[in-house]
Each structure stands twice: as structure tokens, then as C-alpha cells.
Structure 1
């Protein structure tokens, strides 16, 4: 009875909606004279009569003209979203009805464009995907009802990217069950190729056809209505389209995962160009729970063919290694991938010379999330064959890294186990004195000497004094940053963050590594470190108003623009605009154009092609609030808000000038 009341409430809400929030205004009368009306049938108190009437409605719906058909499907979609496990509609023929409506939309173009029927295939595919999301018995019934062929037509782009989004979602759910996978696999080559194409090109399609269209009148109206339900302006439409584009990409990868898990079509999925594309597919701030491209790469690493294909691509291996030294949520997936490649005798030699230089910084990582002894697993994978000299390491840097791991994890640990407590205490005091000397020389501007002091302190510091080593690694990294060596800084900061408890929690190291990643042009990892740094700042705040440090707000604003989902596509669009401007320059030089006509032509071209969408501070704030739930008011801290702040800034400026002066003298 509760389920029926919920359905009636949804139907009542939809049928009585006449506000501006309604996506469609049918202008129909509230009084009903149709004996087979779906809404009247839903209100029937006798369950036997109601079920019989609903079954009849589902049979007749695709073949009867009904101006309120979209309203009915909208109601069905709302019910499916709120009660996806309710067996009533699936048992009464909703899948046959939705499949027939999709097929009719594709075959009968004139019917599709009549009234509000353009919305029908979207809702029909969404209903199929929602009911098959959790229940294998619903998925079996859907397959028996013939939903796959019409869904395949939508996947092929017979209508638009909006319908592709819900079609690939539904097919992904059907392919995820053992009992229905074979029905999808009938179209295996077609499905895999289409999903790969969607994953690689959907961002460009959505940007070109929607987000990049700045004139609201030129955007597809029914896309706009589906995205925002008629509420919100251009900015809201663009943000929602960004979310849907990300979902389209992630659901395409999920569908590919279903085949990769069974080692099907790996010859297609493991194409080198697609593997490189996967590295750029990031679930990111839009879809927080999706590992996107790296998730599929890990699935591929479980198969022999997949590992060999990935090991052949230096770009993919390097991308995985960058992920290892980051605070990204999917860091552990990168570690899994590299370890799987190292454990395979046929791929070890191809990746170890790149991976060892990154993994050496993680060998002291105790736990990551719910995983324990991560550093020990990395150490075993690296040193398994090292002492037997079975690896022919030609790279001197890799040899040093492997020897460093051996000394740190084996030799030094043995020595320190025999060290008495008195000796440990002596070392602790000595390390503190040397660190103070390093700090003093650093603030005097002698960065090179400070670097030497921090290194000396690290060599003497017992391994068990993890907190002291965190600070030493972080301070030495700051020296590397000032000396223009971001790679060495990232290495030291990663070690500091691995030693911190919990991992990736030391605020200064996060901020400094964010700066180092920024110098290297690794915007995504810079952004993640900066957000983690801010998270730590927010947790330590005791006042109601949370202050965001000015420098961190600037970094986030910069990196969010660089990591925006459509950043690469926008860059291509701007390049095309510049090409057109150059063509106009050529026209102006070669032809006797009137200057006013030329300027008008230039202005018109730039206005048409200006698809730049900036990331405002408001959007940054919204994103942060979404990532860190329960925040109080967030406001940007003024750069020089009070006398104390100004004095601190003046002192820092004087120190910076001294550092620069000494650096110039050293040169």
C-alpha cells in the first residue's frame, strides 16, 4: 500500500504541475473523459482492476495517439527512479512498451517531431536503465522484451547524444549480469567500437553541439528542457551538460569494463591510441565515485594481453606513475596497475626503469584507505629479483633507486634494530640541532647549504622517528623548489606524505607539492593536493566562518580552469578561431578591403567562435562545498587584511629578495 501511495503521489504531482518548473505544458484539461487513461487507472483502488488496466495501457500506448504521452513517461520515469526495485510495472509489460516507443521514435521521424514526442525516447531508455540497475530478474525480462535492438539504435546516435547517454547506461546494466551479458554480446564488436568512440569523442560532441553554443536560441530546446527542467539560465544548463557529458563518458567506460572483465574484445580496447585517451579520462570533481579511465586500465592489467599492451605504451606507464605520487582518490588503483605489471615476467623489464623512480618514494607507505602494508608490497615487488641480479638495469638512476630501497628497507633497518634507546635519543637530539642549523641558513637565504643540512639530518634520523622525518623531507623539498628542481621536490614531498599519519595528510607538504605539480604542468594533481590542503585547513578551523588562504584560492581557480572537463576541446576551438583570424589577416593583406568592413568581419568571427567559459570563484566555492560536506560559510581570505598580515608579507618579501641576491651571487 505504501508503494501504491507513493506512485499516486508522484502521478498527482506531475498531472497537477502547471508552474514554470514543468518541462512541458500540454494545455490539457484536468477532467478526463478517456476510459483507458493511464492516470485514472493508477488511481483505481481495486488492485486487480488497476493491474489489468495498466497492462492494457502498456500494450496500447505505442499504437495510440496520445498528446499526454510524454507526461505519462515522465511519471513512469519518476516512479522508476524512486522505486527501482518495485516489480509491478516490469511484470505488467513496461519493457515491451518502452522498446516499442523507442523503435517508433527512430523509424517514424514525423511522429517523433510532433507535439512533445521528441522527449519520448530519452525517458523510455531511462526507464529501462533504471529498472535494470539492481535486479537481474528485471534485466532478464527486459532482454526477453526486446529492448536491446532499439537501445543499440540510440547508441549508434540515431537521435542525439542525450539519448546515447541513457542508452549506454541501460546497456551497461544489462551487460553487467551473467544471465544477460550474452544477449548484449550478440552485438559485441559494434557495442565495443561504439562505446570506445563515445568515450573518446563525447566531450567534443557535447561541447560543440551544446556547451560551446553561447547563443541560448541556438541550443537544442529539448536538450535544455531535459537538463534543467525549465529552471535556470545559461550557466546552469552548461554545468548540467558538463555533468551529463562526464556521465556519458563514465558509463561508456563501464560498458567496456563488462567486456574487459571477461577478456572479450581486448584487441579493440587495447588499441594504443585508445589507451592513451584513457589516461585523460578522469571521473574527477563531476563524478566522484567513478575511476573513469584508470579503472578500465586496471581491469586490463588483470589480463596477459592487457598488461603487454599497456607496457608497450610509455605514455600510459608514465601517467600511471604520476598517479602513484598524488593524493588522487584513485592513487591505489595506479599502485595496483604498476604492481601487476612488475609481477609479470614479460612486462617487468619494460616498466621497471620508469616505475622504480616513482615507487622508491612509496616504500614507507603503511596504509592507504582500507589497505595495509602497501609499502611492503611495493618493496617486495621491486626487490624480488634485485639481489639475484636477474634484472639487467642499464639506467644508473634506477640502479641507485633500487640500492636506496635495499639500504633503507633492509640494511638500515637491521642496524637500527640493534641500536639501544640511549643511542636513538642521542640521534634525535643531534638531528634537532642540525635541523635548526638548516632552518637558520635557509632564512639567511643560503638555500644550498640548508639543503645539505636537511639531507645530513635525514641520514642520521632513525626510521622510527616518522614525524621528524616528515618535516625534514618537506623542508628539503622547499629548498628544491626554490632551486628550480620540481622533480626532486615532488619526490621528497611524496615521501613526507607517505610517512604522515594518515597518509597524504601533512598540510605544508600538500601545498608545496601542489606548487611543484603546477610547475610541471600537472594541473589535475596540483588541484587535488590543493583541495586536500584546504580540507586540512578547514578541519583545523574553530570559528563558524572558514577562511580560504588567498594563495590556495588562486591555485584552485587556476587549476580548475585547466582541469575543466571541456578544457582540451575548448583549446581546440580557440585554435580554430585563431586560424580563422589569421585567414582574415591574409585577406586584409592580399585584398583591398575597406578597413571598417575588415574590422566588422573580425569582430563577427571572434563573437561566433568565442566559446571560452571561465571558472568563477563562485563555482570554485560550490565545488569545494560539494567535496567537503558540512562546511560553514566559505570566504576567501584577504591577501593583506591587517597590520599583522602586512608585516608578515613584508618580512617574507625581504627574505625572498635575500634568497634571490644570494642565488645571483652563487651564479
Structure 2
């Protein structure tokens, strides 16, 4: 028997050796998948594959798991290939999962414990991109066995791939309808909510907290693929726990985006839990955060009403909106949706204005390249400003009212004045700004910090808006003064404004470092970590790799915040949280 499908490193060494030993022999097994794959005649090949899939779940030989692992590799490598889905692979996988659940004696035999994991993963991979594949899967009866895995009938490892597969099935319009008509919608949503809220504790209790020899052997093998070592196991367990949570949120998002079960998802405690589900540091397809789900909930009136009632959720959105978190723009979009709804606008206005006022010069282009994000924020913030200005409407918070006045002056009044400014006045102001900046620097060096703040503030008031470089430096310098005065919120505000002006492509590195320090003062470890990472990236991206030197103070901050943002909080295994978390950090080169 020869097998010409590319064998990947994802098959464990144990299975790979066993497969190679089989390939060296002449195969006499009827319905062998590998022999069938090498059949040269297409018609005969398809007929034999159909027969193979119809009988695969009945096999009891020890090589069944090798067949499944190879099928899994094919599905992962070629998820859009329609051949296997059209020939019965889904019905075969459904029957294998059903057998695993119903026949525990068979499941415990040999390597059969691996089978439900591979079967569910194959279903998820083939239904990921193609709606026709998902429709075939539903018609083949994959939902009942996947739901049993979702209920935890075997373990959290199978639950992880089951929720992934169900999320892909629910992401397609027709198959979503099939799911909610054939299964208890409320039951699916409650299961996904429970998994998202409890999965980290489950993984820690059932795997990470156990000593190596007490951990389930096939869990360890699936995670490490034969690469032994406690560090590798811990690293993969954290990654899988994060994926289990992310995929659960993705499944819930399929309901929220279609405005189904919104009131059920919007339970007060679950919304508050969402604030801490941040999806990891790396923004990729397997990383779906609580903020993404919150944004989808904000698309419906019931969702906006529930979110507006939770100060904790609003605070989270505000904090993320000013950070360099990968979900920053999801948080901003959520806030804008709340502000555009008249029912929720005045409930959240006083809470969000002091934060988003720092973003009115954000330069990310939106809506076909005609309007910047900052302009959209400005328009939404100022839509009632005329009524506020002339006393027809009074805001509860004087701070928020003052912030709106500042936005009006910056984006309307100063723009008008700058447009009418003569060349001579511009030159005079440029000189005055330079003098005030120099005076501020001198006062800062002499330790007269409050006077330095006053000088920088006066310089910012006089500085023309188009002098962006000077404004960036002035905001950043004033932020450094606020750090020394222990005014962390004011430092965050100024550094955020400097970073909005400098742009995401080339952020002002000093402002990143200063904001990281300010976040650290407020014990906001996640935001501090993201800024510290971006600061290091900014220091290293234009230098040859051999010349890269990361400042000691940045490394110290990085290690501190990695420990503080451990996925499992205080439940770190053998104090190895920093090692585990370090695997999630990727410097952008």
C-alpha cells in the first residue's frame, strides 16, 4: 500500500511510526482509505470512498485512529475541497462521535479516545468556509452528536472542537435556521454562555492543576504532538483554553448578529463577565473577544438597552477605546452605537465623553476613505451641543460638558481661526510656541513641574492645528509632567491625543512608554502591556536584528504585565504563568 497524500508534522510521532510500518506491508484490508485514495480511476475511486465512509465507523482495528488523523490533516489543509463532503464524510464522523458517546468500553480501547476529537475537528474544518458543505453536514445528522459533546459528555477537549464546529455551522444563514428550528435555541445559548464563563476554571482544574502523570494521556498527546515537556503542555493548555472561550463567544455572536436570544445573552452577570474575556494578544481568526460580542449586541435595541445599564461594561469599552488593544475599534463602534440611539445616549453620555474626547483626531479612514474616525466621533458627540450651549439641555456632569466645549473649540472654532490665519500670524505663533516649549522644558528640568505644565498648556492653545509634530511633542511632554505629579488619568489623556495625531502606522514611541507607565499606575495591566509591546516594536522595527537592544526598563515592565495578565489569574501552575503568557507575545517585525 502506498499513500501519496502529504503527511504533516501534526500527526504524532507514535501514529506516524505505526502508519509507516503499515505502508511497508501489502495491504489486504477491504475498504482501506489509503489504498482507495490512490485508485487511478475517478469513478471507481469515488465509489470506493463512499463505501469506505459508510463502513468506517464499524471498524475495530487499532489503525482507525491513524485513518482519522490523516483525514483531519486533509480537512485542515483543504477545507474547501468538496470531494469528501459529497461522498459521506459527515455522516461517517457523526456516527463515530455517537459510537464514542454510547460505547465507553470501545472508546477506552487502544487509541480510540482520540477519535471523537478528530471527528468533530473534521466537521468543523469542512464547514468553515463553504455554506454547501455546512448544509450537507446538517442533512447528514451532525448536530445531535455535536450537541452531546457541547454538553461535556466526554471532556473539555472534545467540547472545544464541538463548539468550533457548531460556530461554523451557525455562521451560515441557511444552516443557522436549521439549528434553531431543530434544536432548543435557549439550550444552545445557555451552554455556550456557561462554557465561555467557566472554561478557564475547567481547564485549570482538570488539566493544569494536575501533576504531569495525573493528566489525561491522550489530552497531553493531542496538545504536544509527541513533543514532551511540562512547559509545552502548559503553553498548549492555555492556548486551547483561550480558543474554547473564543469559539464559545463566536457561537454566541452568530445569534447576536442575527438578533436572536439577545435578552438571554444580555444577563447582567454575563455581560460583566464579557468585559474580562479579551481573546488573547494576537488578533487572528481563532481569537474572538468579549468586546466583539458586545459590539454585535449593540446592533439591536434590546442589546443597547442592556449594555447601557451596566457601568462596568461601559467602563471597559471606554478603556479599550483609548488603548492600542487589537479590539480598539470594536469598542469605539460600540460606544458610537450607544450614543446614536436616543434611548441610550443620555444614559451613557456622562460616562463616555471624558474618554472619547481624546479620540476626536484619530486618523483611521472610514466610509470609503472620505471621513476619518475622529470626524465621525466628533459628529456624534456634538449632535446635541447646540442645545447644551444655549441652555436648552443640561448635562449632569460638568466634566463632560466641559469636554464637549473643548471638542467644539478644537474641531470647529480653532479650525475656523486657523483657516483665516495669515502667514505672518502663523510664523509669529510658531515662534511663540517654540519659546513656550523651551521654557516648559527648562522648568521641567529644574523640577518646577506645575509651571512646566502651564507652559505646555499655553503652547498647545497657541499652536496651529496643522503643526502636528509640535502638538504631539507638547502633549507627550505634558503627559510626562502628569506622571511625575501622579496624575495618571491626565497622562493617559495627553498620550492618547499624541498617539491619535501620530497615527497607528508610526506611533509616537515616547507617548507609548509614558502611557504604559500611566496604565501601570492605575493597575490596568492589559493596556499597559499592549503599549509596552508597541513601544518595544517601535524601538526595534527599523534596526537590524543583531543590533536590537530592548531597554531594561521596558523588559521589566513587560515581565510585570505578562505576569499580571495571566489567563488563569492567580491559578498559575508551579508559578509558570510568565512562561506560559510569554508564548502569546509576538513582536511585530
The question of a shared fold, defined as TM-score above 0.5 by the shorter chain, is answered with: yes
Q: Secondary structure at the match of 2:549?
A: strand
Picking from 522, 525, 528, the partner of 2:527 is 525
* Residue in structure 1 matched with residue 272 of structure 2 by the alignment: 276
Equivalent residue pairs, number = 579
Mind listing any 5+ residue stretches in structure 1 that lack a counterpart? 571-609, 630-667
Counterparts of 1:46 and 1:379 in 2: how far apart (Å)? 66
- Per-residue displacement from partner, 1:292-341 (whole Å, max 9, x unpaired)? 11111111111100000000000000110001111112211111111111
Q: Secondary structure at the match of 1:548?
A: coil
Tell me if structure 1 keeps the 8 A contact 2:12–2:226.
no
2:39 paired with 1:44: yes
Counterparts of 1:51-450 in structure 2, within 5 Å, are 51-185=46-180, 186-187=182-183, 188-213=185-210, 215-286=211-282, 288-289=284-285, 290-367=287-364, 372-389=371-388, 391-450=393-452
Tell me if structure 2 keeps the 8 A contact 1:365–1:498.
yes
Task: Tell me by how many angstroms 1:530 deviates.
Answer: 0.8
Task: Tell me by how many angstroms 1:14 deviates.
Answer: 9.6
Counterparts of 2:559 and 2:252 in 1: how far apart (Å)? 34
TM-score of the superposition, structure 1-length normalised?
A: 0.83
Counterparts of 1:44 and 1:327 in 2: how far apart (Å)? 54
Query: Judging changes above 3 Å, is the alpha-carbon distance between structure 1 residues 69 and 159 closer, same or farther for their aligned structure 2 residues?
Result: same
Tell me if structure 1 keeps the 8 A contact 2:163–2:248.
yes
Query: Judging changes above 3 Å, is the alpha-carbon distance between structure 1 residues 553 and 368 closer, same or farther for their aligned structure 2 residues?
Result: farther
Counterparts of 2:475 and 2:13 in 1: how far apart (Å)? 61
Tell me if structure 2 keeps the 8 A contact 1:175–1:181.
yes
Counterparts of 1:310 and 1:24 in 2: how far apart (Å)? 54
Counterparts of 1:484 and 1:174 in 2: how far apart (Å)? 51
2:584 paired with 1:628: no
* Residue in structure 2 matched with residue 550 of structure 1 by the alignment: 552
- Per-residue displacement from partner, 1:218-268 (whole Å, max 9, x unpaired)? 111000011111113111111111111111111111111111111111111
Counterparts of 2:545 and 2:100 in 1: how far apart (Å)? 57
Query: Judging changes above 3 Å, is the alpha-carbon distance between structure 1 residues 366 and 19 closer, same or farther for their aligned structure 2 residues?
Result: closer
Counterparts of 1:178 and 1:23 in 2: how far apart (Å)? 43
Counterparts of 1:362 and 1:23 in 2: how far apart (Å)? 58
Tell me if structure 1 keeps the 8 A contact 2:13–2:225.
no
**Which structure has the greater CA radius of gyration?**
1
Task: Tell me by how many angstroms 1:24 deviates.
Answer: 7.2
Counterparts of 2:17 and 2:148 in 1: how far apart (Å)? 26
Q: Secondary structure at the match of 2:244?
A: helix
Task: Tell me by how many angstroms 1:368 deviates.
Answer: 5.8
Counterparts of 1:567 and 1:287 in 2: how far apart (Å)? 21
In angstroms, what is the RMSD of aligned CA positions?
2.3
Deviating above 4 A after TM superposition, structure 1's stretches of 4 or more consecutive aligned residues are: 17-29, 368-372
* Residue in structure 1 matched with residue 27 of structure 2 by the alignment: 32
Counterparts of 1:440 and 1:394 in 2: how far apart (Å)? 40
* Residue in structure 2 matched with residue 559 of structure 1 by the alignment: 561
- Per-residue displacement from partner, 1:132-187 (whole Å, max 9, x unpaired)? 11111111111111000000000000000110111111111111111111221132
Task: Tell me by how many angstroms 1:50 deviates.
Answer: 2.4
Task: Tell me by how many angstroms 1:65 deviates.
Answer: 2.2
TM-score of the superposition, structure 2-length normalised?
A: 0.94
Tell me if structure 2 keeps the 8 A contact 1:10–1:75.
no
Task: Tell me by how many angstroms 1:374 deviates.
Answer: 1.3
